[in-house]
A and B are shown apart, each in its own frame.
Chain A
Amino acid sequence: MNPESNPLKIDESPELSARVLSDISVSRPVLAFFAFAVAWLLIGTVFGLTASLKFNFPDWLGSFPALTFGRVRPAHLNAIMYGWVSLASAGCAIWLTVRLCQVEVRWRKLLYASVLLWNLGLLYGTISILTGNNQGLEWLEFPRGAAILIAVAFVCLSLSILRTFHARQVKHIYVSLWYIMASVVWFPLLYVIANLPFYSGVTQAAVNWWFAHNAITVWFTPIGLAAAYYFIPKVVGRPIYSYYLSLLGFWSFALFYNWNGIHHLVGGPLPTWLISVSIVASVLMFIPVITVAINHHLTTVGHFDKLRYSPTLRFVVFGAMCYTAVSFQGSIEALRSFSEISHFTHYTIGHAHLGMYAFVTMILFGAIYYTMPRLTKWEWPYPVLIKYHFWLVALGIGLYVGSMTIGGILQGLYMNDASRPFISSVEVTQPYLLARSLAGVLILIGHLIFIYLFSLMILRRGPERKAPPWQEEAEVIFP
């Protein structure tokens, strides 16, 4: 048969045709999740840069209540966490589930309902924060109405994914699916329990930080890892190094990571045993992290050349390496002796961005670069712009984390030195805060390039190609 007349290659192999059919079944909902995710990425980045500039020019836009630092900063966090990262992770989780179960997606209408409710919740929640209706709890700022919308949206997503998983046509359940199935059970429970109105005082502080850290534990990290576990072997073209390491990695992750949250309250007015438990669990995180790092590294080793042409691999490997880095950093940061300096400072902000940006966001970029051509049946135009995107955000986040790390440690040392006035701990951070804003500008430009490319993909514009634009480059490297 002439391959030109059968571009989807149906009938050539049953596995391939199942894959194509499942890709088609899921393309619209996944595209919807990705498109809104990208919109929230832009909104969230602009909020973030605005908040950063306010440290450099505290009187800038000073007479607009909606744009004061204390409102823009939580708007940034929520737009990024519940907007960009959550929507992109949801799209990624649906696509991976369908791929790895080799079936068409089930209960697709629930996915459309999920996108709709999710965005309504985000819009209502973000406007609420900007207009002064903030619940007062970090990571739980959205008013109850917005939280309910998001919870229902998440349950819709979970039901569709679990139903698809139940209908799977494969015997072997790949490691990515463990993380996804655990995640879609965990997060709705977590979000609902944390939003219950029963708590007050220091108990509420414990619930608050159990939630905030567990949002990373049970939702952002598992999806990031599921994507890394899928895309690294996929692009490299060899199976994951060790199944048993994956098993150890998953269960030690599930067991220890759920106990980490209270290290956010080191030195605070909570029972000492409680904080100690979280510190111990944070240090035990070395086990799952090293396990995953070894597994990913030994899968990639010998194939690092492919980073040069595969944008997916470049973003995902960068993200996977940063997962190791941010987890090591987190384990050390939880220790009392280190926390004494780093707690209450910009160091923590740097750590948060190393996790949510350098790890999770970079992997999500990689996942989008891989899936989009399969969803739109259109190849990425302008590969050189993808390189600009990568280097702008990679340098941007490097500068961001570097400046916040050094600035934060200095801030902590000055703060803990009673012979210095408190204001010196503010003044010492200023050059680093300026560098942070510069990093924000680099990241924003990178995002604008990414959004331009993404829009071209949705509209199927740009040069028409028969193969990925980096294929020629790959053939030069691997003839």
Chain B
Amino acid sequence: MMFIRLSTFFLGVLATFFLGWAGLTLIPGIQIREIKPSSELKPYTDEQFSGRAIYIREGCIYCHSQQTRPEGFGADQLRNWGRPSVPGDYVYDKPHLLGTMRTGPDLFNIGARQPSEDWHLIHLYNPRALSPGSLMPPYPWLFKEEDEFSKEVHAAMGKKVVPVPKGFAPEGKVIIATQEALDLVAYLLSLNHTYPVE
């Protein structure tokens, strides 16, 4: 009697768990698996993919989402953040970076909204140089400080000099973007899902 009751107990425990698992992950997984990539969505280039790894490493998801909400649900459409995102927009995303927080704005279409590479580089070096009142952390380790007199030399050597506004970089220094910063910005600029979907 006790044995039957206990077996029933553990059976119930497993059944409730796997019911939820099947309903929330297995069935939607099967349904979504048939979805094809959105027509104009391209796989990430090597550079964008490396930049995506920096985005993950620095924990950008804790303040930025990558999903646009439909009309009538929040102000995403009124703010021109782009059409509502669909599962087909994410087929190349592993791990997914949908995010659950908007301490900063949604980045699903940041490449369309802010296409300037220089803007992103300055903003990553010191967000408050471009967005007063921003709470975003600076990422100085994605940049190098070098002596100013060699500015032309840097350019000639193919180094990317970041035009940081006066007062936001140390006197007499120029700010050079590392490959990591360039990759990250390449990723951010690739976040452009403004193509139409059915």
Q: What separation, in Å, do the CA atoms of A346 and B62 have in the docked complex?
A: 11
- Checking A133, A346, A348, A418 against B79 with a beta-carbon cut-off of 8 angstroms, the contacting residue is A418
Please, which residue of chain A has its CB at the minimum distance from the CB of B59? A70
B137 cross-chain contacts in A, Cβ below 8 A: 54, 58-59, 62, 68-70
Is the C-beta of A258 less than 8 angstroms from some C-beta in chain B? yes
Contacting pair A201 B91 (CB below 8 A):
yes
Task: Kindly identify which residue among B78, B95, B101 contacts A136, using a CB–CB cutoff of 8 Å.
Answer: B95
Which chain A residue lies CB-closest to B32? A203
Q: Would B87 and A58 count as touching, CB distance under 8 A?
A: no
Q: Give, as a whole number of angstroms, the nearest-CB distance from B97 to chain A.
A: 7
Query: CA of A217 to CA of B47 in the docked complex: distance in angstroms?
Result: 40
Residue tally, chain B, CB below 8 Å to A: 68
Contact-residue bracket for chain A: 35 or more
Distance between B43 CB and nearest chain A CB, rounded to angstroms: 12
Q: Counting CB contacts under 8 A, is A126 at the interface? A: no
Q: Which residues of A contact B85 (CB under 8 A)?
A: 268-269
Which chain B residues (95-127) contact chain A, with CB distance < 8 Å? 95-98, 100-105, 127
Q: B65 — which chain A residues lie within 8 A by C-beta?
A: 344
Closest-CB distance, A200 to chain B (whole angstroms): 4
- A345: CB under 8 A from chain B? yes
- Complex interface bits, A404-447 against B, C-beta within 8 A gives 1, otherwise 0: 00000000000111100011011100000000000000000000
Q: List A residues 343-392 near B (Cβ within 8 Å).
A: 343-346, 348
CA separation between A199 and B100, bound complex, in Å?
19
Q: Chain B nearest CB: distance from A192 CB in Å?
A: 12
1/0 contact string of A109-148 vs chain B (CB within 8 Å): 0000000000000000000000011111110000000000
Q: How far is the CA of A134 from the CA of B75 in the complex (A)?
A: 31
B-binding segment of A11-19, A177-185, A456-464? A177-185
Q: Which of A135, A201, A345, A426 contacts B87 (CB 8 A)?
A: A201
Q: Does A255 contact B (CB under 8 A)?
A: yes
Q: Which of A69, A214, A255, A415 contacts B102 (CB 8 A)?
A: A415
| Interchain CB contact (< 8 A) of B94 among A69, A200, A268, A343 | A200
Contact of B74 among A132, A251, A340 (CB under 8 A): A340
B28 touches A189 (CB 8 A): no
Evaluate whether A202 and B90 lie within 8 angstroms (CB atoms) in the complex, with A264-B100, A426-B103 already known. yes
Smallest CB gap from A203: residue in B: B29
CB of B13 within 8 A of CB of A267, answer no
| Bound CA span A423–B95, Å | 28
Residues in B neighbouring A205, C-beta threshold 8 A? 90, 96, 98
Please state if A138 and B100 are interface contacts (CB–CB under 8 Å): yes
- What is the 8 Å Cβ interface bit string for chain A, positions 183-202, against chain B (1 contact, 0 not)? 00110011001000001111
Contacts known (A132-B57, A254-B12); A269 close to B84, Cβ less than 8 A: yes
A201, B12: Cβ atoms closer than 8 Å = no
Among A135, A204, A214, A345, max chain B CB count under 10 A is at A204
Expressed in whole angstroms, the Cα–Cα distance for A17 and B10 within the complex equals 31
Counting chain B CB atoms within 10 Å of each CB, the highest count among A210, A269, A336 belongs to A269
The answer to whether A325 has its CB under 8 Å from any CB of chain B is no
Known interface pairs A69-B137, A132-B57, A268-B98; A416-B90 also in contact (CB < 8 Å): no
CB <8 Å contact, B33 and A189: no
CA distance A356 to B86 in the complex (A): 33
Which one of B13, B17, B58 contacts A68 once the chains associate, using CB atoms below 8 Å?
Answer: B58
Q: Does B163 contact A (CB under 8 A)?
A: no
**Interface 1/0 per residue, B1-30 and A, CB below 8 Å:** 010000001101110110111011100110
**Contact A271:B60 (CB < 8 A) given known A258-B21, A422-B105:** no
B56 at the interface (CB under 8 A from A): yes
Tell whether B165 is near chain A: CB-to-CB under 8 Å. no
CA gap between A343 and B93 in the complex, in Å? 22
A98 to B82, CA, bound (A): 57
The verdict on B61 contacting chain A, using a C-beta distance below 8 Å, is: yes
Is the pair A274, B98 in contact by a Cβ cutoff of 8 Å?
no
Residue in chain B with minimal CB distance to A255: B16
CA distance A132 to B54 in the complex (A): 8
A255-B16, A274-B28 as given contacts; A58 in contact with B70, CB under 8 Å: no
Judge whether B32 and A427 touch: CB under 8 Å: no
Which B residues lie within 8 Å of A134 (CB)? 56-57, 59
Q: Is the CB of A69 within 8 A of B20?
A: no
Which listed segment binds A: B138-146, B151-159, B184-192?
B138-146
Question: Across chains A and B, which 8 residue pairs bring their CB atoms closest together, nearest first?
Answer: A70-B59, A258-B20, A418-B78, A200-B94, A344-B102, A136-B56, A136-B95, A254-B16
What are 30 inter-chain pairs, A to B, with CB distance below 8 A? A58-B137, A58-B138, A63-B140, A68-B139, A69-B63, A70-B59, A70-B60, A74-B59, A74-B62, A134-B57, A135-B56, A136-B61, A136-B97, A190-B17, A200-B92, A201-B32, A201-B93, A207-B29, A214-B20, A254-B17, A259-B20, A261-B24, A262-B24, A267-B69, A269-B86, A269-B87, A277-B24, A340-B74, A345-B102, A426-B133
A202-B32, A202-B96, A423-B131 given; 15 more Cβ-contact pairs under 8 Å: A59-B137, A68-B58, A73-B59, A132-B58, A134-B56, A137-B96, A190-B17, A205-B96, A210-B20, A210-B25, A254-B17, A269-B67, A269-B89, A336-B73, A425-B102
